[in-house]
Structure 1
Amino acid sequence: MLTSQLIVSNYPVIGPADKAGFALGLMEDYDVQHLPVVVEEKFKGLVSKDDLLDADEAAMVATLEGNWVKVAVQTHDHFLTALKQAATNDISLVAAINETGEYQGVITRIELLHAASRFTGAEDPGGIIVLEMDKRNFSFGEMSRLVETNDAYITQINTYIDSTTGLLQVTVKVNRAEISDIIATFQRYDYTIRYYFGEENFQNELRENYDLLMTYLKM
């Protein structure tokens, strides 16, 4: 997914000569913490609401240039680049520019969240299993095979190194919520399971037994 697919092009912009009070009014109207500063179609930086609040309402935005966040992404960048910029700089939106530095629009934090949700498969139904292992033992092929032996398949997988333990955390999402048999298979092959989210067979059996009991009592 490219940043060009997430750009909001009709977002308000301000110029260096605009007053702080005017910029704050726009921020209130659009409920944002930053606005892009654009001069002759060139992106110059983002001004923050905090900096504007500290300034006199009649002061020009140009007086705050030293505090502008001067980061942007190219329209052909992967959306994860924009996500990283937003997180690293703690900004509510990321400016997008073309190859010549011309302003193309912004990518809002909410658009990045939606994109991340789609990218990670968070919107899709299914169970989640988090495994822990030495990174040398990571084998997607083996994990996929073990899941498939239970008539399921992996729909999403993400990894990261736990800074505390140095071990690899592997988050596996499968295509169904009932995952007790998959968990048992991983355990049988000596995988360490940190936690999981899904339905369990024993819960289903308890519910079925409860329903049978209630039916019997009503007879």
Structure 2
Amino acid sequence: MLAKDIITENIPPLKSSDTGEKAIDWMMEFKLSHLPLVDNRVYIGLVSEEDILDFNDTTEKLGAYLKNLYKPYVKASEHIFEVLRVAAGLNSPVIPVVDEEMHYLGMITLQSLL
């Protein structure tokens, strides 16, 4: 089984144009502490709840604040064993999945690995 076979498609990524408020709302809605951030389909990194809470103004766009994000990911063609290895080293409930050009394809939740 490959990473692309276990992508969760019902949780959208955040965009650079989204606000901190939207990020917190989605984290609460999906019960996640991290969400991927994309810009024109390119994966930028993982946004954490802590990142957002550090904002001076949560009505500002994410792109204005988040420059050096933690950037874990797996490629779509990687085996589930590699996904598990990456998951074991993360402090995040999600693992972003990208293609060879770093285009965001979706995410794998830890829950879907169980």
**TM-score of the pair, normalised by structure 2:** 0.88
Structure 1 segments (4+ residues) deviating >6 Å? none
Corresponding residue SS for 1:22: helix
Corresponding residue SS for 2:108: strand
Alignment of 1:80-159 (within 5 A): 80-112=81-113, 114=114
1:33 to partner: Cα distance: 0.8
User: Which structure's CA Rg is the greater one?
Assistant: 1
Q: Call closer, same or farther: CA 1:83–1:65 in 2, change over 3 Å.
A: farther
Counterpart AA for 1:109: L
Corresponding residue SS for 1:65: coil
Q: Distance in 1 between the 2:107 and 2:12 partners? A: 10
Q: What is aligned with 1:41?
A: 41
Counterpart AA for 1:15: K
Q: Distance in 2 between the 1:83 and 1:50 partners? A: 24
Deviations 1:173-214 (A, max 9, x none): xxxxxxxxxxxxxxxxxxxxxxxxxxxxxxxxxxxxxxxxxx
Q: What is aligned with 2:51?
A: 51
Number of equivalenced pairs: 112
Gaps of 5+ in 2: none
Deviations 1:96-142 (A, max 9, x none): 01122211100001112x1xxxxxxxxxxxxxxxxxxxxxxxxxxxx
Q: What is aligned with 2:74?
A: 73
**TM-score of the pair, normalised by structure 1:** 0.48
Deviations 1:41-69 (A, max 9, x none): 11111101121122231232121222x22
Q: Which has the higher contact order (CA 8 A, sep 6+)?
A: 2
Counterpart AA for 2:103: E
1:86 to partner: Cα distance: 2.3
User: Aligned Cα RMSD in Å?
Assistant: 1.4
What percentage of residue pairs aligned between the two structures are identical? 29
Q: Distance in 1 between the 2:4 and 2:77 partners? A: 6
Counterpart AA for 2:95: V
Q: What is aligned with 2:6?
A: 6
